Structure formats: structure tokens, C-alpha cells
């Protein structure tokens, strides 16, 4: 007799509130459903009550982890709407800031993965050494999270030669951390044992559910907006799209670990080739019309749609976040998985429910309830 198991909504192990309804037989998950909406804040409505400039801070607060990339995508879309060309230097600076954000987001994910696998030593090391990026952000932008660095028409703070030197120094200290993470993922690593073969998402299934970002790249699909539809200065920078074939949690981890090296490569190149000039231009008037912009967030493809009626307040803003696209991959990966692995699988897409809770999917049927602790 299959039994229903509920995870959440308020469980401190999962960083944010959400609710999973698993249909379990013995130890095996047969079917999975999810209920969202605990983080729903009505952001898309709020977007239409503020000016284009004020919306930057709102876009930033969709998600507190990949906050910078939201403002970048929003600003780029609005720039197209206004017909503003961003200075070359600002494009390079945007790449630097966003790759630093990718580094901090990926390291945070490894920290959470270590936490969910009960590798406390690895957790403490990764989270502790990751601090250096947060300090760097504070030094460069004035805040550790929610850095308010992008603006419509460019960036708000420049990178001086001494700041560039500091960034290089931080990258030098981060390389050993990436090496350490790679050692956890090699054949004898502690992560490998617990993640190999867990939560497999085959290539065709990944495409079918519309997964994006590292989740998709972990299933053998080379898809990266930075290469496919270059924005900022990515078309002038040399980097590789990391792909792993296996589709399990281990492959997703490997994709992220190898991407940290690529991010460092991008930052170093951008610092070396930083062109002189202004860092921002004055924004113009928005034209009547609509625009779609997309970027590669740390978690995958992020899409903004903005419709303008010519006033200083947007008429409609629609956000499609990567976690929303990846949620359907979780449900696919959970099927056939052992109940004990459920948490690892859920964390493997790096879910960010603050991002996702825009659409409320409610489907709670009455059934036998049992709260289990996921360990």
C-alpha cells in the first residue's frame, strides 16, 4: 500500500519553505508532487507600481543568492527598450561581477550539498573559505549580498587597478578551494560515494521537462546562454561550456566544480582586457513596445519580459527564473529514488524558492500523513 510522505513546508534543513508530497512504497518514491507559494510576494505586480530605476532594487530582491544577475537581466532588457548602448568598460565589469557571483553561488551550493550529505568537515571548510568572496563583494560594491551594482546604462562602481589586484589575489586563494572540491568528487572522494547514481536525469528527459543550467548540462546537453546568445562581453571572452553525461547528482556537482575554474578564467581575462572609458551612460526614455532578455544565472537561464507603454513605469514585467524551470526536473529525479536520498536530490538543482514562488501550484489531497526527518 503506497503511503504519502510530506516534506516541509517549514523545515530548517531545506533553506526555504516549500512542500513536497511523495508517494512512497517501502523505501522507494513512486510519485512526487510539490506545492509552492510559501514565498510568494506578488513581485510582478509590484514591478508595475514603481519606476524603471526603482525596480532595480526590487529585481535584486527576487533572490538573495543570485541577486546581481537579476538586476543585470532586468537592466539589459530595459536598455534595449530605451535604446541605450552600454559602454564597453561596463560590459566587462558586468562580466567580472557576475562571474564572482557565480563563484559564490556555486560554493554555497557545495556547502549546502555537504550539509545535506552530513559531511560537516567539508561544510565548514567550504562555507568558511567562501567568506572571502563575500568580503570582496563588500569591498567592491559596499554590501555582501544585494550589491546594487548594475544600473540602467552600466554599472555603479568602477574597478580600479588596486581593486583588480585584490580580485586577482582572491582568485589565487580560491583555486585551492576548487581543487579541494574536485578532490571530494574524484573516484575516492566522499561526495562521489553518496552522489554517484543518485537522482539520475537522462538527457531526453532533461530536455522534455525543460531543465536549464547546470542541471541540463549535467545531463549531457551543452546549453549556456553566455555562448548561445552572448550578452555583456561574453562574446569576447574565451571559456568552455562544461558538460557531463551521467545526469546524476555527481555529474551536476562536477559541472559546477569545473565551472568555478571557467569563471576564474573569465574574470582574469576580463581584468586583463578591461577597456578604458565610462562605466555608465544616462538612461533614455522607454519606447512603447516589449522586450525579452535572457542571461545565464548561476542556476540556469533567466528570462525577463518587459512591456512598456511609454511612461516611466513598466506595464508588465514577467520573470522566468531558472529554479522554476528546474523544479519539474526534481519531480522527475525523485521518481524511483530511495526516500533517504530525497533531500540530496531536491538540493541538487540548487533550488531557490524565493525565485520560484511566482506561480502557486496547489494540489493537496487528503491522505495518511507522516512527517519524517530527512537525514
Using CB under 8 A as the criterion, which residues of the chain lie in contact with another protein when the complex forms? Answer: 9-13, 15-17, 37-43, 45-46, 49-50, 53-54, 56-58, 60-65, 67, 108, 124, 127-128, 131, 134, 138-139, 141-146, 148, 156-157, 352, 354, 373
Question: Minimum distance between the CB of residue 326 and another protein, rounded to whole angstroms?
Answer: 16
The Cα 59–Cα 144 span in angstroms is: 17
Least separation in angstroms between residue 360's CB and another protein is 8
Please give the C-alpha separations between residue 108 and each of 124, 244, 312, 357, 359, in angstroms, as whole numbers.
Answer: 11, 21, 37, 21, 26
Based on CB atoms, which residue is closest to another protein, 2 or 17?
A: 17
Q: Which is nearer to another protein, 42 or 276 (CB)?
A: 42
**Dist. CA 60–CA 72, nearest whole Å:** 9
Instruction: In angstroms, give the least distance from the CB of 74 to another protein.
Output: 13
Nearest residue (CB) to another protein, 273 versus 360:
360
Q: How far apart, in whole angstroms, are the C-alpha atoms of residue 95 and residue 135?
A: 19
Beta carbons of 22 and 5 less than 8 angstroms apart: yes
| CB closer to another protein out of 139 and 292 | 139
Cell of 345: 536530490
Minimum distance between the CB of residue 352 and another protein, rounded to whole angstroms?
7
Report d(CA 196, CA 194) in Å as an integer: 6
* Shortest separation between residue 145's beta carbon and another protein, angstroms: 4
Tell me the DSSP string of 83-135.
Answer: TPPPPHHHHHHHHHHHHHHHHHHHHHHHHHHHHHTT-HHHHHHHHHHHHHHHH
Which residue's CB is nearer to another protein, number 122 or number 266? 122
Amino acid at each position: 500500500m503506497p503511503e504519502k510522505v510530506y516534506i516541509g513546508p517549514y523545515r530548517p534543513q531545506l533553506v526555504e519553505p516549500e512542500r513536497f508530497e511523495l508517494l512512497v512504497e517501502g523505501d522507494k518514491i513512486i510519485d512526487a508532487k510539490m506545492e509552492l507559494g510559501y514565498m510568494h510576494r506578488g513581485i510582478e505586480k509590484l514591478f508595475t507600481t514603481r519606476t524603471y530605476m526603482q525596480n532595480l532594487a526590487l529585481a535584486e530582491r527576487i533572490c538573495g543568492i543570485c541577486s546581481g544577475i537579476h538586476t543585470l537581466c532586468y537592466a539589459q532588457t530595459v536598455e534595449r527598450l530605451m535604446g541605450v548602448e552600454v559602454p564597453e568598460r561596463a560590459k566587462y565589469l558586468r562580466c567580472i561581477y557576475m562571474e564572482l557571483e557565480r563563484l559564490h553561488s556555486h560554493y554555497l551550493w557545495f556547502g549546502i550539498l555537504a550539509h545535506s550529505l552530513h559531511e560537516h568537515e567539508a561544510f565548514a571548510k567550504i562555507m568558511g573559505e567562501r567568506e572571502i568572496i563575500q568580503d570582496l563583494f563588500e569591498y567592491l560594491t559596499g554590501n555582501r549580498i544585494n550589491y546594487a551594482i548594475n544600473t540602467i546604462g552600466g554599472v555603479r562602481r568602477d574597478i580600479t587597478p588596486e581593486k583588480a589586484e585584490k580580485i586577482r589575489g582572491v582568485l589565487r586563494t580560491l583555486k585551492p578551494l576548487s581543487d579541494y572540491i574536485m578532490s571530494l568528487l574524484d573516484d575516492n572522494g566522499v561526495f562521489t560515494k553518496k552522489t554517484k547514481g543518485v537522482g539520475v536525469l537522462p538527457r531526453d528527459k532533461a530536455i522534455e521537462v525543460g531543465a536549464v543550467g547546470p542541471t541540463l548540462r549535467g545531463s549531457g546537453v551543452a546549453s549556456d546562454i553566455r555562448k548561445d546568445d552572448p550578452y555583456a562581453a561574453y562574446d569576447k571572452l574565451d571559456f568552455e561550456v562544461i558538460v557531463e553525461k551521467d545526469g546524476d547528482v555527481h555529474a551536476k556537482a562536477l559541472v559546477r566544480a569545473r565551472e568555478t575554474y571557467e569563471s576564474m578564467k573569465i574574470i582574469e581575462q576580463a581584468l586583463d582586457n578591461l577597456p578604458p572609458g565610462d562605466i555608465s551612460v544616462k538612461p533614455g526614455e522607454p519606447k512603447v513596445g516589449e522586450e525579452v532578455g535572457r542571461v545565464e544565472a548561476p542556476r540556469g537561464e533567466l528570462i525577463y519580459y518587459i512591456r512598456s507603454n511609454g511612461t516611466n513605469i513598466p506595464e508588465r514585467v514577467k520573470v522566468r527564473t531558472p529554479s522554476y524551470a528546474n523544479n519539474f526536473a526534481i519531480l522527475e529525479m525523485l521518481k524511483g529514488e530511495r526516500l533517504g536520498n530525497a533531500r540530496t536530490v531536491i538540493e541538487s538543482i540548487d533550488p531557490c524558492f524565493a525565485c520560484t514562488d511566482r506561480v502557486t501550484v496547489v494540489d493537496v489531497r487528503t491522505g495518511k500523513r507522516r512527517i519524517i526527518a530527512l537525514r
